[in-house]
Structures are given as C-alpha cells and as structure tokens.
Amino acid sequence: MDSIKRVFLIVLDSLGAGELPDASDYGDKGSNTLRSISQSPQIFIPNLRKLGIGNIDGLGFLGTNENQQAAVCKLGELSKGKDSTIGHWEISGIISDSPLPTFPNGFPQEIIDKFSELTGRGVLCNKPYSGTQVIADYGEQHERTGDLIVYTSADSVFQIAAHENIVPIEKLYEYCEIARQILVGKYGVGRVIARPFVGSAGNYTRTSRRHDFSIEPPQKTILDSLKAAGRDVISVGKIKDLFAERGLTEMLATKNNADGMEKTAEAADRDFNGLCFVNLVDFDMVYGHRNNVDGYAAALSEFDKWLGEFLPKLRDDDILMITADHGCDPGDISTDHTREYIPLMIYGKLVSPINLGIRQTFSDIAATLAEIFGVNYTCAGESMLGELTDMKQHLCNQAKRALQKSYSPYSGYRVGAALLTGSGKIYTGCNIENSAFSPTICAERTAFAKAVSEGEKSFRMIAVAGGKGGIVTDIFPPCGVCRQVMREFCTQNFIILLAKDCGYEEYTLSQLLPNSFSI
Ligand code: THU
C-alpha cells in the first residue's frame, strides 16, 4: 500500500495494558498499569476514548465506545524481559531470547579489572546506588585518588561518575567507549552512561553532559530497512539511544514529555516520507518508577489534551499508532517495570476502525510498517495492513472462514456470516441444521445471537458467504427471516456484503427489505 506516506509511531513509555500470561515469572502477577491510573481522579482521556482505548480486550474500565475511531488491539511480548530496549527492539522486529543483564551485586571482578587496566584508573563503589547519593558518598575519595565511580541500578546499566575537573568530559566519554567494548555477550548491558558532576565535597551536582552509550540491536530492525529503502526515519526522544542511533535519518532530542509532543507536532507540520518514531519517557521515568499514580494519570491526561490538537494535523495519507513498550504499574508495591501487554491504537483516514483482539507479538508493528512502506523485512510479526485497510474484504474473508464450521448434513449448503459491531468487534456464525428441519438456524442469526447475548447493541455491517459443499461461487443472500432479524437490531443503513468467489456485492438493509415491518 504505497498511498500511506507518513506514520507516526508514539510509544507512551510503560503504559501497559494488563498482565501477560507469564507475568508471574517476573513477579508481576495482577499488574495492570492502565487499570491503576484509571482509578485516579486525575484521569481525563476523552480523545483516547474516542479512538477506542476502552474497547481493547480487558480495558473496558476505561469506558467502551460504540463508535471507535481507531483500529485497536493489544500485543503480547515474545521476548524475555520487560525493559524499554527489549520492548522497542521487539516493536522493531527483534525477538530477544534473554533479558539484558542486570548486576544487583555489582560487576564481576574480571570486568572491573579489565576496565581498570584499559583506563589506567581504579574503581570505586561497584554496586547499585542512587545517582545523587553515589557522588555524595564517593566524590571526595574520587577527587583524591582519581579512581572512577562505577555503579549500577535495577536497570541494565554501567554508570561512570567523575568530576569534570578530575576527568575532562572527553576523557570520560572515552572511558565509556572502553566500557562499551568490554561489556558484550553475557555482560552486554543496555547502556553505559557517563555521569559527570561538578562542585565540591558536600555540594556536588550532576551536569547536563550525561551521555548514553547504548548496545546496538543484535539484528536488522525495520528502521534499518526503511532507511536503506530511502525513507525518512525520524527519532524523537530516547529512540536514538535504544537503537544506538542505528537506522535513523534524523534525531530530535527532547527534554520531557511536553517537549517530545511539541517536536512531534512540528514534524507533522513538515513534509517527510517515512516513519516518525517517538518515545515519551516521563510516564515511566517520572511517574511509573516513583509509584505516582496521580502524576501518571495527569501525564496521560496531558497527552490526551495534546492528542486533541494533533489529530486534526494528520493528513489523509498519514497513520498514527499509539502504543507502549512494557508496563510499570504505579499501583503495585514494586517501583520496577511490569510484564504486561501493550495497547495499540491505529488511526488514519485509510484505516478501518476494527478491533484486532489480542495478538502474539509487538513485532506485528514492524511487519505492518514493512507492508505499509513496501520494504522487504522478515520478522516474527504478522502485518495487520490487510485488515486495517480493507475492512469489507476482511469481513467477507471472515465469513468464508466461518462457513467451515457449518453443520449442514441435510442440505449440504455451508453458510458463514461475519458481523461487525460498532465497537469494532467481529462475531462470526455458521448455519446449524436439525433433522426436524424447522429448528435450523441460519449463519446470520447465529452471528446475531452470539453478539446480542454478549451485550452488543450497535452493528455496522455483516458479510455472508455460502454455497453447496462450502464452495462459494455466487452470492448467498439472506433469507427473509434473517432480514427481519437484521431489521430488529440495525438501522436501514446497515450494510450487507454478499461474498463471491472473488470480491462481493454490497447492499443496505433498506434495499434488501424495503417497506419493512417494525414496531
Ligand atoms: N441459510 C443460511 O444460513 N442463511 C440464509 O439466510 C439462508 C439459508 C442456510 C440454512 C440451511 O442450513 C441452508 O442454508 C439451506 O437452506
């Protein structure tokens, strides 16, 4: 589909959509970031609700929407781990078999020895530590000896703190490069971070010349393929760090969420041809890790407000995807990330607002991007583009699939129906015959019975496919009883798609049932 020119892929860092089936392996049973923040009085997200966030499987507490504007689903994570790097890599097509390593007891002696040998300096601390506390506790000794302060955290990081007067900033960056070269394989931490500081004992402060040296993605990502195909790949925020600046054509640095949103809006105002990949990190860094439920909810409400201004900026051939990279439930005891599904909303003029249910892997995003931009990129994900852009054909395909379940030993006619509701869900049905003949239920009525008994009240269209022995050659129009059932639950504009071997015929209910009876 080459009519889509720009895709905005916005990652709301840590906005998980509920526990994954293996959450207990990560100590995260029951976690649900969106549910926790939905309980805050600070939550006000009319635009996300308009898109259909509450129609995502399991997120009904956010408020369902009979007329969702976006395609929605939630995606599972095939990778091991629950951090930003692993999450963004999977979004971009890489499945990681092991999480990035963490060092709760400090780095092994062989690593420290090697680092000392190559830098010619001793090492202080070497354990998990708070960044401000570590310079308060070790700064003086560092100034005296010239030894480097090495520390880590719950994340996969190797951090080097040094006073700018003792270790000039360029030298510190050089030491980080050295560490980056040592920290490979099972010691391959996500990031080596330079943490320069200034001031005097009792008064040390960190400077803004922090610099991250990320591990490179171990395989080709969709970003690499898009760049190679001559597309623009714009990074907004920390995307560049997560991919070690690979596969990007432009990098826009951001200070915080507000700045990230502003830079994204600016990108939307200019012409580019490709992907604008945005990460808004405050959700995770400022609120999730600090278990600040109200702050998190207020930040999402801020995003929602911005979204209200951003949506009208989108052009007819743009697509917006809003998603996350993992959870960080601010309502649980731990301040750590949580192993959760990620929500996905896909919006655009060319997109059918369909509910794509629960999908296997974040990599479905990479596969979809590959198909959108027509690049050859293979990954574990499945493209959603077919369903997203041709809803009517998709519905006919679903009807054809449903007829395989037909129970029709008497007539031999196998019939399938696929009914699309206002909330984007599809209910399928088949004909179910009976030896007494009259209790036979048609495929359409099976689908309606399933939907109505699940509480559905609004219906957009139905596709019907049928034929002798299940071979669909020509249209299989609904019988009079089924038309009357449609009349019961639908308006006269309800669409009926009659599948053919190839393609379909389209009717409204008023065409198939004129002058109808209803009370
Ligand atoms: N059938 C349907 O499933 N839908 C219709 O609208 C027309 C008829 C089924 C009922 C029966 O099992 C078979 O087609 C032949 O009548």
Each residue's pLDDT tens digit, 261-295? 999 999 999 999 999 999 999 999 999 999 999 99
Residue nearest atom 1 in ligand 1 by C-alpha distance: 442
Please report the pLDDT score of residue 3 as a whole number.
76
Please report the pLDDT score of residue 2 as a whole number.
42
pTM above 0.85, yes or no: no
Output the CA 519–ligand 1 centroid distance in Å. Answer: 26
Give dist(CA 471, CA 469) in Å, integer: 6
Please report the pLDDT score of residue 404 as a whole number.
94
Question: In degrees rounded to 5, what are phi and psi of residue 428?
Answer: -105, 160
Radius of gyration in angstroms for the set of CA atoms belonging to the chain, rounded to a whole number: 27
Atom of ligand 1 nearest to the CA of 417: 3
Atom of ligand 1 nearest to the CA of 410: 12
- Which 3 state secondary structure label does DSSP give 481? helix
Q: Is 403 in the pocket of ligand 1 (CB under 6 A)?
A: no
Q: Is 482 in the pocket of ligand 1 (CB under 6 A)?
A: yes
Cβ-Cβ contacts under 8 Å for 307 (sequence gap 6 or more): 47, 48, 322
- Angle, vertex CA 200, rays to CA 195 and CA 205, nearest 5: 35
Cβ-Cβ contacts under 8 Å for 456 (sequence gap 6 or more): 421, 422, 423, 425, 427
- Angle, vertex CA 73, rays to CA 485 and CA 390, nearest 5: 60
Question: In degrees rounded to 5, what are phi and psi of residue 427?
Answer: -110, 130
Output the CA 430–ligand 1 centroid distance in Å. Answer: 9
Q: Identify whether the C-beta of residue 408 lies closer than 8 Å to the C-beta of residue 446.
A: no
Q: Is 448 in the pocket of ligand 1 (CB under 6 A)?
A: no
Residue labelled with tokens 């100034």: 143
Quick one: DSSP state of residue 403? G
Give dist(CA 464, CA 136) in Å, integer: 71
Q: Is 478 in the pocket of ligand 1 (CB under 6 A)?
A: yes
Among 181, 197, 198, CA closest to 189? 181
Residue labelled with tokens 């895709």: 7
Atom of ligand 1 nearest to the CA of 479: 6
Q: Is 416 in the pocket of ligand 1 (CB under 6 A)?
A: no
Please report the pLDDT score of residue 153 as a whole number.
92
What's the Cα-to-Cα distance from 486 to each of 158, 275, 441, 509, 516, rounded to whole Å? 63, 42, 14, 8, 11
Q: Identify whether the C-beta of residue 496 lies closer than 8 Å to the C-beta of residue 513.
A: no
Output the CA 494–ligand 1 centroid distance in Å. Answer: 20
Output the CA 502–ligand 1 centroid distance in Å. Answer: 21
Residue nearest atom 10 in ligand 1 by C-alpha distance: 442
Residue nearest atom 6 in ligand 1 by C-alpha distance: 478
Give dist(CA 102, CA 159) in Å, integer: 12
Q: Within 13 A of 331's CA, how many CA atoms are on the CB side?
A: 17
Residue labelled with tokens 């007891």: 105
Say what the alpha-carbon torsion angle 219, 222, 227, 230 is, to the nearest 10 degrees. 140
Cβ-Cβ contacts under 8 Å for 142 (sequence gap 6 or more): 124, 148, 149, 161, 162, 163, 166
Q: Which amino acid is at 111?
A: I
Cβ-Cβ contacts under 8 Å for 180 (sequence gap 6 or more): 192, 213, 215
Output the CA 391–ligand 1 centroid distance in Å. Answer: 24
CB atoms within 10 A of CB 30: 13
Give dist(CA 336, CA 155) in Å, integer: 9
Which tokens in the block code for residue 136? 């308060």
- Residues lower than pLDDT 70 in the chain: 1-2
Q: Is 444 in the pocket of ligand 1 (CB under 6 A)?
A: yes
